[in-house]
Structure 1
Amino acid sequence: MPPAGRALPCVPIAVAPNGGRRTKADHPALPIGPAELVRTAAECLEAGAAMIHVHVRDSEDKHLLDADAYHAVIDAIRAEVGERMVVQITSEALGIYGPEEQMAVVRAVKPQAASLALREILPGTANEAAFADFLLWMKTERVAPQFILYEPGEAVRLDALRRRGIVPFEEPPVLYVLGRYTTGQTSTPADLLPFLAPGQPVFRRFMVCAFGRHEAACTIAGGFLGGGLRVGFENNLTLPSGDRAAANADLVDAVRSGLEAAGITGMSGEELARDWSSL
């Protein structure tokens, strides 16, 4: 039992159900269009997810940043689940879009939340002023950012930007990515340790995502330390047993069950929305 007066953390579970790379050739249940994403959102909400991380595709099922496509998916999900899930769009470049296009789609959609890969949206120092204006707009419009960090050095860089006032959020949400989008990548829980090492910036609102069959172990390790968990077909198709998951909800259920077995509860979508609205 935890010491008197100290409770175990209540942490959010997010689902990343499709990403921008995989297709139905990788898994027939990978959701692509609005109808499939709506069904996935409802199933994952029931399994314990507080947030859905949405990618949209073009007519050839390729990665797309498009305001109309995002509005169609967001409206459809909201019609099904109401405000019980945070709906987050991606601004991921995927080697197709530049920082200006990434920021423009977020402005055009004005979503509840948006993920921002720091290395993509601010690849150098040349566009720091535009990036600062963009983040100030997000703060004013109450669009919650989540900064995607692929290595500990990016966490140091984000903290430096925060200290300089470029990032106007005192405690910005972040996502620690354990590994890379490479063939056969399999993350392990130890990959989280460099992000949490002594001397590293401390981000209270952190989530963890990982690749391969140890996704559950990696993200649950983050949950034990008070972080959120992001799972789904974007990064992994396999259950902890090694069997292929039939649906995204199976991956959500696996981590929710693991947390509950340790006495940790999952945060609701409404609770996550309230927390991020206070940024």
Structure 2
Amino acid sequence: MLQVCLNGARTRMECRSLPVSARELAAEAARAVATGADDIHLHPKDSEGRDSLDPHVVAEAVTAVRRAVPSGVPIGVTTGAWATPGPEERTALVRSWYVLPDHASVNWHEAGAEQVAAVLLDHGVGVEAGIYSGTGAAGRFCASPLSRRVLRVLAEVTDTNAATAAQTAVALVEELAPVGLTPLLLHGEEGGAWPVLRVAARLGLDARIGLEDALVLPDGTTAADNVALVQEARTFLAGEGW
């Protein structure tokens, strides 16, 4: 499975082609799915371009994207603490969502992760358990009573060094071995994005790519958009870009 991560916590200052509005996210999602993405991850943003967990902002983004892509393509959003730092407020906002995504990422190293995940599960929303390398989150997640209830583990390699990211990725996968049969999506970021995608392909794991994770193609040239990244990732996953 290849997930496209359309925008992340980035701004237009970092990437001029970043989809921000609900309309832009919908158009970009449709093109990415047509190119080969199987699943969508996005960050709803407010009128100032900032990540938001506000129920109206989430509803607008999810509704627009759902209308734009074929029926059955899963759509997920973030619950990152940078959007709403307070655990109680974050949990309350997620509980107030009235248009529900198919899944949502919950970063297990953040305060309140289990509470947010429990609310999502109670509402029938799949949980992507975000496990960042180098945070100790893997151990906490493996010991969590919710570890067997999540949709998948989102193994996030924060090592951006192209020379070491693959090794860090393998170590993270090994840390997560206790979760057993839980599906695992492995991805990197910035300089580590493409080396980690190669590891995911080699291990037969789910993967993701998009402007949240990488702004450049494997040859170092700037990616025009998410479509260019998805096209390149499909080549890698087919074993043709190694």
TM-score (norm 2): 0.86
For 2:224, the aligned partner's letter is: A
Structure 2 matches for 1:195-206, cutoff 5 A?
Answer: 195-197=172-174, 200-203=177-180, 204-206=182-184
Higher radius of gyration, 1 or 2: 1
Structure 2 matches for 1:211-222, cutoff 5 A?
Answer: 211-222=189-200
**Relative to 1, partners in 2 of residues 1:34 and 1:198: Cα closer, same or farther, differing over 3 Å?**
closer
**Contact 1:186 1:211 survives alignment (8 Å):** no
**Contact 2:77 2:103 survives alignment (8 Å):** yes
**Contact 2:201 2:239 survives alignment (8 Å):** no
TM-score (norm 1): 0.76
Unaligned runs of 5+ in 1: 1-11, 263-279
**Relative to 1, partners in 2 of residues 1:26 and 1:34: Cα closer, same or farther, differing over 3 Å?**
same
User: Residue deviations 1:68-102, cap 9 Å, x none?
Assistant: 01111111111111424211011001174222232
- Distance in 1 between the 2:142 and 2:63 partners? 34
Partner of 2:132: 150
Structure 2 matches for 1:20-99, cutoff 5 A?
Answer: 20=9, 22-94=10-82, 96-99=84-87
- Distance in 1 between the 2:216 and 2:104 partners? 26
Structure 2 matches for 1:266-277, cutoff 5 A?
Answer: none
Unaligned runs of 5+ in 2: none
2:9 matched to 1:17?
A: no
Q: How many residues align?
A: 235
**Relative to 1, partners in 2 of residues 1:16 and 1:99: Cα closer, same or farther, differing over 3 Å?**
same
For 1:197, the aligned partner's letter is: E
Q: Tell me how large the CA RMSD over aligned residues is.
A: 2.4
Q: CA deviation at 1:259?
A: 1.3
Partner of 1:191: 168
What secondary structure sits across from 1:24 in the alignment?
coil
**Contact 1:237 1:245 survives alignment (8 Å):** yes
Partner of 2:239: 261
Partner of 1:179: 158
Find the partner of 1:141 among 123, 130, 135: 123
For 1:142, the aligned partner's letter is: G
What secondary structure sits across from 1:261 in the alignment?
coil
Q: CA deviation at 1:55?
A: 0.8
- Distance in 1 between the 2:50 and 2:150 partners? 34
